[in-house]
Amino acid sequence: MSEKIVKLTTNHLDEQYTFDKIAKQASGAVMYQCGKAVLIAAVAVDPKPTGEDFLPLTVQYIEKAYAAAKIPGGFIKRESKPGDFETLTSRIIDRSLRPLFPKGFGYPVVITIIVVSSDSEVDMQVAALHAASAALFVSDLPVTKSVAAVRVAKIEEKIVINPKLSDMEASTLDLYVVGSGEDLLMIEMRTLASEKIDDIEMDVMDPMMPETPIILEHQECNELEEAELIDVIALAATAIKEASERYTEAFLPYAREILPFELEEEVIDADLYHFIEENFKEAVEAAILSMAKSERSTAFSQVKKDVISAWEAYGRESDPALVKRVLMEYKKGIVRKMILEKQIRADGRGLDEVRPISIETGLLPSTHGSCLFTRGETQVLATVTLGDSKDAQMFDLITSKKSQSEYFMVHYNFPGFSVGEAKPIGMPGRRELGHGNLAKRALEPVIDLKYDGTIRLVSEVLESNGSSSMATVCGGAMALRSADVDIIKLVAGVAMGLVSEGEQYAVLTDIMGLEDHDGDMDFKVAGTRDGFTALQMDIKLGGIDLKILADALSKANRAKNHILDLMEEAEEQVEPSEALPSTEIFTIHPGKIVDIIGKAGATIREIIEKFEVSIDLDRDRGNVKLTGADKEKVYAAKKHIQKIADAPVKKQATYDLGKVYHGKIKKIVDFGIFVEMPDGFDALLHISKVSKERIHNLSERYHEGDEIDVVVMEQNGKKVSLATPEFLN
């Protein structure tokens, strides 16, 4: 079978899809190319169903070092553990493609995307999703829709669809939207901080130059307001509709015949359903109230046992799996009916009501900053640790030749006990990385761009019943305040939900675990008083109307501001931790940096050891940053450095060639002796110029501090060569 090539230009992307060329034993495969980037995507399916009521889908996005003409760093010279970007990209593809599978499909599916050639200007998350979607569409699996992704940027106040990666550096918006046809399936958004220069009004003129306005430079978070965000998403939706329809039309001739997979039908025994409704309505409602207080509820387990016993006593044979399925379906109907018809939630709250919140900062005395944030039955302990620039996390990107550094890290941990599960704590999974990344994207725009150091924020989820990631945002912002980090504004986050039946819908504020499970949308929103800095949306309906999205954003904004009210009240009680390091930042003449460092770093090492400080130097600007635990020692180190910097510059002496000078031995090394000349400058007496006889060990004849006569043989600027009178005679 000959290869088949499809070339498409959509939304500023020139793409090439090659089918029937590679991985022919897979269920579906494609070689995708955009620019110099080449990706291989393949789909494989296990013919044995799991029998579970969920889709066993696994997505792996893998970047090969050779794709960027690199050899992997580290001791082991082959790819091993996936990086954070690979994991997060796999998660994005999973969330985008999962809604395309038909209900009841229970066969294990693995989608693998391998980057075999990279391009520094190609968005790998867009490319990987398009490659995976194409491979899935032409496979023999029952998926008949294509998806399209767009990255939306805002560059110099202009909206740009699918910009080059280099252009993203100037963007104040990073919006990633995935959809199929008219249905939006997933949204991820963050804003990017930037510096802005303004001219101050005439009444604040510089008194020394009254006709020249003072220039003010300040940082902007670039939050998006509701209306602007909806407009941008609508623009992305139009681009997605056009692209996904073109993909479907172009790929359809190459799609394989769908295999006869058996779909698990959701069997609901009408008699059993009616029996539960007639006899266990109150017990189910009581169990719902119990679930409203915790993600883990033993009440339903008891109801299930009671139903089985009663059903058997009624003379009917019971299947525990069927009873559980019918019981959960009945429970889901009760929850949704309460919300849509009575506007009442399982825990008694109104649809727009945020659960009670408590905020306690500074409770850990030995940390730089801490906050215990509790919202309902969700509780997060956020801690902040400050370090210098050398503490940054280094990482590599396939689209960049140079290593990158992460100066603001958010690490999210979700132990089993937070939901009452008895399981040990292991390595963070995709969920933990995804939630931590969302919190980071929400908080990063308010971190000072000029912050000279590294910040590590750790979120320990102690209790969970609804959106611990948004609790991480709130607790993280307060922990940053506790650590005396100069953030521009406070950031709060809230999770929104949706219950929809036909034309009727209800938007839920601050959803709990029960509503997330039985609802139709998980919509996480974070921002400041002035707008949104990050959001993440996953839809279970197959799409969402922009009118409903606008309603959800409006209610999320009110909830966010309510939480900010409480955070601002708590902010007034924040006191900096006693564990915070003392820092001094000052400037010296750049030419004096070399004196601070000293020969072979001797001077700076002496300062570090004597005053117990860490030192960061900027050779170009002359900036000096001192950090240490003892405030007095940090200040003493500052005075010591300033004394060195203020010392007058010695003019290089000029010596008479052949003249004898009386010097002092400063240091003895294997290759010679460093001699301090009478005017304080150092010169080298090489071992070959000490004596006409060969000397193997200078230390046997000379000692540091001894005086010595030397003859100047040569001078080239600061480089002075010596010999002993003995050698010359």
Distance CA 698, CA 498 (A): 84
Note the helical H segments in 189-298: 226-251, 270-279, 281-291
- Beta strand 215-220 pairing with 357-361: unpaired
CA distances from 453 to 140, 439, 485, 498 (A): 52, 20, 11, 41
- Give Cβ neighbours of residue 232 (< 8 Å, ≥ 6 apart): 152, 154, 159, 173, 175, 224
Distance CA 373, CA 357 (A): 7
Tell me which H or E stretch contains 336: helix 320-342
Q: Do 678 and 629 belong to one domain? A: no
Is residue 16 assigned to a domain?
yes
In 3-36, which ranges are E strands?
A: 4-10, 13-19, 28-34
CB 471 within 8 A of CB 380: yes
Q: What is the pLDDT of residue 295?
A: 61
**Boundaries of domain holding 719:** 660-728
Dihedral sign (CA 62, 66, 68, 70): positive
- Give Cβ neighbours of residue 341 (< 8 Å, ≥ 6 apart): none
Is residue 651 assigned to a domain?
no
Is residue 332 assigned to a domain?
no
Q: Do 249 and 275 belong to one domain? A: no
Strand partners, 180: 183
- Beta strand 660-669 pairing with 682-686: unpaired
Among 243, 50, 229, which residue's Cα sits nearest to residue 133?
Answer: 243
Q: Do 28 and 83 belong to one domain? A: yes
Region label for 658, one of left (φ > 0), alpha (ψ between -120 and 50) or beta (otherwise)? left
Note the helical H segments in 11-164: 84-97, 124-137
The pTM of this model reads: 0.81
Q: Do 301 and 361 belong to one domain? A: no
- Give Cβ neighbours of residue 726 (< 8 Å, ≥ 6 apart): 690, 691, 692
Q: What is the pLDDT of residue 253?
A: 95
3-state secondary structure string across 407-447: CEEEEEECCHHHHCCCCCCCCCCHHHHHHHHHHHHHHHHHC
Distance CA 248, CA 526 (A): 35
Region label for 27, one of left (φ > 0), alpha (ψ between -120 and 50) or beta (otherwise)? alpha
Torsion of CA 630, 635, 637, 638, to 10 degrees: 150
Is residue 536 assigned to a domain?
no
CB 534 within 8 A of CB 229: no
Distance CA 432, CA 418 (A): 13
pLDDT along the chain (729 residues), means of 10: 86 95 96 97 94 89 93 84 93 94 93 97 97 97 96 95 94 95 92 70 40 55 91 94 96 94 80 88 82 69 86 81 85 88 87 96 94 96 91 86 89 92 89 95 92 92 93 97 93 94 90 86 93 90 80 95 96 89 86 84 89 86 86 90 81 82 89 86 87 84 90 84 88
Distance CA 7, CA 418 (A): 50
Region label for 385, one of left (φ > 0), alpha (ψ between -120 and 50) or beta (otherwise)? beta
Distance CA 373, CA 532 (A): 21
Q: What is the pLDDT of residue 210?
A: 41
CATH number of the domain residue 620 falls in: 3.30.1370.10
Q: Do 487 and 588 belong to one domain? A: no
Domain count, the chain: 5
263 phi, psi to nearest 5 deg: -90, 135
Is residue 342 assigned to a domain?
no
Which pair of tokens denotes residue 275? 């029996």
Q: Do 368 and 288 belong to one domain? A: no
Q: For residue 650, what is the DSSP state?
A: P
- Helices vs strands, H then E, count in the chain: 15, 31
Last residue of a domain, which of 615, 646, 677?
Answer: 646
CA atoms within 13 A on the CB side of 501: 10
Is residue 539 assigned to a domain?
no
DSSP 40-81: EEEEEE-SS---SSS--EEEEEEE-GGGGT----SSS-S--S
Q: Do 513 and 567 belong to one domain? A: yes
CATH number of the domain residue 49 falls in: 3.30.230.70
Last residue of a domain, which of 509, 541, 571?
Answer: 571
Q: Give CA 224 to chain center in angstroms.
A: 20
Q: Do 516 and 478 belong to one domain? A: yes
Q: Do 313 and 370 belong to one domain? A: no
Is residue 343 assigned to a domain?
no
CB atoms < 10 A from the CB of 219, how many?
A: 16
Tell me which H or E stretch contains 335: helix 320-342
Which pair of tokens denotes residue 98? 């999962």
Q: Do 398 and 515 belong to one domain? A: yes
CB 180 within 8 A of CB 137: no
Distance CA 54, CA 529 (A): 39
Is residue 39 assigned to a domain?
yes
Q: Do 428 and 301 belong to one domain? A: no
End-to-end Cα, the chain, rounded Å: 91
Query: Hey, is 26 helix, strand or coil?
Result: coil
CB 561 within 8 A of CB 509: no
Query: Hey, is 219 helix, strand or coil?
Result: strand
Helix 468-482 to helix 430-443 angle (10° resolution) is 50
Q: Do 374 and 504 belong to one domain? A: yes
- Give Cβ neighbours of residue 81 (< 8 Å, ≥ 6 apart): none
The b-or-e profile of 467-478 (16+ CB within 10 A means b, else e) is bbbbbbbbbbbb
Distance CA 360, CA 371 (A): 6
Strand partners, 381: 372, 460
